[in-house]
Structure 1
Amino acid sequence: MLFFKQHWMTLTIGVALGALGIAWLAGFWQVVLGVVAVAAVAAILRRVLRSRRQAEAASVSVARPQRPKTRTEPEPTDTDALARLMLEQGRYALLLRPQIAANLPAKLLDQARQAFDDLMTIVPEGDVLVGRAKGDEEQTQSYSGNLVRVEAVYLDRYQVTNEEFQEFVNAGGYEQMPLWDPEIWPAVLDFVDQSGLPGPRYWRNGKFIEGEDRHPVVGVCWYEAAAYARWVGKRLPSDPEWIKAGAWPVPLPGAEPIQRRFPWGESMDQGRANLWGSGPEHVVPVEQYGPGASVGGCHQLIGNVWEWTSSRFGAWRAPSNQLVMDSAMRSLRGGAFDTYFDHQASCDYQSGDKAIARKHNIGFRCAVSFCDILSDDESFDPAENEVELEAAAAAGGEN
């Protein structure tokens, strides 16, 4: 074969000359036959040589060491790398689920617990008055409210920020259907930013406005807030939980608890909240207005942006002031930077909007049930299946 490879041109010319000689002796009509023969032989030789070269190239490729591929995400079996990624994304609450924490090394478990302690505060169990009405510009009838028992719950110290929600967008949260309520699946494609990419309404090109990383995320509907909460291993707080965090009831034996109208006391102090007339007339970073924090350390429960809760609008209202509302309406609490009336920016006041509303003054914060988080003294089974971590990372945990 090597001989043919090196001398194929000489052989081709020789065969061609021979064919032409035969054609000259035999007659003109056979010239065509000779030319066809030459072309056929040349084509066969080219095909043989091409196959030979491909075989040699393949053998060289197999023998040559392959360059390792660059890995941008951890392998599914690398639980430590997956846990570190989840910490970077702010999904520390997922890592503290008992069934997942059992598989984490002590260092990563401590990091998750430190993040949890820094960014969430506990609202202790107890009774809270919900739906009470006190005299204001719109209401003249006094109503003590419903006494509701609230189990212990953890609540975000701050409203969810743009940079935190960015992690959800970057991770493809808008494409992970298990995170979303089934009734909204057909409409998820409509939740886009100014450039048509998945994200909050006022973003552009899938990113928040530069310099607003610590501002509360706005322009997200109730369904977007709920999906994000599931992704990080949390949920939206209920109305009673939210009120208890702000009003901080003091129980009294044989009587209704004493609770604050505002997180700092009974009287409005506009210097403690970003409201109409006291603030810059736009949202501000979530750390501002520290003096307005609740007893438990929750910031901006009053002012800056309204906050979605898991409750329906119209629930917990006074019997004489019941509302028959569209079931798509969800509860809003706390007032915003453009809230004018003081009574609307109180722990007792409930507003509401359609669950698909994506407005400039509505954000949210998240909660975690006390029973869902590994306690400091809780033991766990070392034989727990590592699949729990992978499933939680993919689906955001259960609510």
Structure 2
Amino acid sequence: MNHPGFPPHGPEAAGALKERIACGLERSRRRVHALTTCDEEELLAQHSPLMSPLVWDLAHVGSQEELWLVRDVGGLDPLRPEIDSLYDAFEHSRSARPSLPLLDPADSRAYIGEVRAKALDILDRVPLEGSPLLEAGFAFGMIIQHEQQHAETMLATHQLRAGEPVLHAQPLDPAVLGTRGANLPREVHVPAGPFTMGSSVEPWALDNERPAHEVHVPGYWIDTVPVSNAEFAGFVADGGYDREEWWSPVGWAHRQRTGLGAPGFWRREGGQWWRRRFGVEEAVPDDEPVQHVSYWEAEAYARWAGRRLPTEAEWEKAARWDPGTGRSRRFPWGDEEPTARHANLGGTAMRPAPVGSYPDGASPLGVRQLIGDVWEWTSSDFLPYPGFRAFPYREYSEVFFGSEQKVLRGGSWATDAAACRATFRNWDYPIRRQIFTGFRTARDAAAEGR
């Protein structure tokens, strides 16, 4: 099966695919450079023990590119073998990375530039077929996704830094947002039945998205849009953080230990909620999806609202299943690549769009904003699909499987389209709040509505 943007086989198609890859590599590198143009002191500093110094991420994307494209695909000798361990994410925790003898910003830029030049030469000469790493340019696609994921990580670091703003947002285009949520139904019914979950044909799908398999899902209702700041403020105002009955035992213990009382970066002043967003202090907008909430906070809100978080399968069925054809789409709106009409992606807005935006991005059942804006917590643990096979290495997914990690879906405003699709699975610890996370709620079809 050929998806839009992935041409069929043949000499002309191979050239088009290589052009697509070259553009993807250039776009990801341009974004990384834009996020590391601040002063050297800012790049070397650790702005939070939760995150690496920005200079570590800068060289790390080059290190991974060298390992997979220059050494493995290209078969060339190592450029800087002595730094391999410094940029191995498994060898050194984020909190320990500032003490390492890291490359300085100038050396980091020179290194990743040298790696990129060799990677482009390799792209020119290797056939994108044959081995699993080369088929449809998978190794190159993996590196593009990896670099874009680190760009989103860099944005999380920027959000945690103190001081004056160094990044500046581009406004969302009102013309593509459409009529917002005032007249939308509160929830959408998804009927019981099977659907195809995951993918066996998406060329750059990662191992945890594979293989496609049929899942039977009981009927349920799911929110048309993500939970908004105003809705979550109602939970806070009702004493939601102080009422144990809304929290799971583990979630309540975490809330007691940390003293959580509002979403990350919120503060109360003069009868108004305020937030800090990339160095800017502003009133919390009522109509945006809430973000910077942990799984435990999302779970407590859902219970307070008489609902629950959707399972991963429920989220994906709402996003992909077409009741008219019975097939699973690549994206809620169809198989074509995301555009500015469909979703808030790419990081330039530096904020979610108002709830109810992007009617052109709605699923066949009418669920909106499933792609972009905020990563959405699901109630599911991060586990392998039936028939899972680790590829191209165990450390990408397999070592993270288990009950300690919860699945997030859909991408955020900070996610690039290359690293986001309706089958894409993100995962993190349920305590995480520095990432751009929100949620929507669900209920069983047999349960009473709210």
**Structures share a fold, TM > 0.5?**
yes
Match in the other structure for 2:370: 301
Distance (whole Å) between structure 2 residues aligned to residue 217 and residue 130 of structure 1: 27
Aligned AA (1:281): M
CA distance in 2 between counterparts of 1:233 and 1:219 reads 22
Once residues 220 and 242 of structure 1 are traced to their aligned partners in structure 2, the CA distance between those partners, rounded to angstroms, is 18
Gaps of 5+ in 1: 1-114, 375-396
Shift of 1:212: 1.1
Partner residue, 1:170: 237
In structure 1, the partner of 2:405 is 329
Residue 341 of structure 1 and its aligned partner are, at CA, apart by 4.2
The aligned counterpart of 1:9 is: none
Aligned residue in 2 for 1:345:
420
- Which residue, 347, 350, 367 being the options, matches 1:281? 350
* In structure 2, distance between residues paired with 1:301 and 1:262: 9
1:204 correspondence with 2:270: no
Change (3 A) 1:166 1:361: same
Which whole-Å CA distance do the structure 2 matches of 1:263 and 1:184 have between them? 32
Counterpart amino acid of residue 357 in structure 1: R
Give how far 1:332 is off: 0.5
Task: Provide Cα deviations, 1:151-208, integer angstroms capped at 9, x if missing partner.
Answer: 1110001100111001111111111112111123322135556xxxx11111112835
Query: Secondary structure of the equivalent of 1:234?
Result: coil
| Structure-2 change in CA distance of 1:324 and 1:293 (3 Å) | same
- Residue 130 of structure 1 deviates from its aligned partner by 2.1
Q: In structure 1, how many angstroms separate the alpha carbons of the residues matched to 2:352 and 2:258?
A: 22
Q: Which residue of 1 aligns with 2:43?
A: none
SS in 1 for 2:346: coil
Check 1:317–1:202 CA distance in 2 against 1; reply closer, same or farther (3 A cut): farther
* Equivalent position amino acid for 1:149 in 2: H
Q: Is the aligned partner of 1:159 residue 2:226?
A: yes
Superposed displacement of residue 138, structure 1:
5.9
Question: What SS does the corresponding residue of 1:122 show, helix, strand or coil?
Answer: strand
3-state SS of paired residue (2:446): helix
- Does the 8 Å contact 2:198/2:213 carry over to 1? yes
- 1:20-49 per-residue CA deviation (whole Å, 9 max, x = no partner) reads xxxxxxxxxxxxxxxxxxxxxxxxxxxxxx
How far, CA to CA, are the matches of 1:226 and 1:283 in structure 2? 21
The TM-score normalised by the length of structure 1 is 0.58
The code of the aligned residue for 1:283 comes to P
CA–CA distance in structure 1, aligned partners of residues 258 and 221 of structure 2: 29
2:398 match: secondary structure: coil
TM superposition shift of 1:233: 0.4
Instruction: Choose the corresponding residue for 2:198, options 114, 125, 131.
Output: 131
RMSD of aligned residue pairs (Cα, Å): 2.7
Give the match's secondary structure for 1:348: coil
- Is this contact kept in 2: 1:191–1:201, CA < 8 A? no
8 Å CA contact 2:208–2:425 kept in 1: the answer is no
Q: Which runs of 5+ in 2 are unaligned?
A: 1-181, 276-282, 391-396
Distance, in Å, in 2 between the alignment partners of 1:373 and 1:358 is 31
Asked if the contact 2:289–2:352 (Cα under 8 Å) also holds between the matched residues in 1, the reply is yes
Q: Distance in 2 between matches of 1:370 and 1:142?
A: 27
Partner amino acid, structure 2, of 1:199: A
Identity of aligned residues (%): 34
Q: Secondary structure at the residue paired with 2:310?
A: coil
Q: Could you say which residue in structure 1 is the equivalent of 2:321?
A: 248
Letter matched to residue 411 of structure 2: G
For residues 214-233 of structure 1, the aligned pairs below 5 Å read 214-233=287-306
Residues in 1 aligned to 2:288 and 2:234: alpha-carbon distance in whole angstroms:
15
CA–CA distance in 1 between the matches of 2:386 and 2:285? 36
Q: Could you tell me how far apart the structure 2 residues matched to 1:142 and 1:234 are? A: 27
Are the equivalent residues in 2 in contact too, given 1:150–1:241 (CA < 8 A)? yes
Q: 2:448 aligns with which of 367, 373, 383?
A: 373
Larger radius of gyration: 1
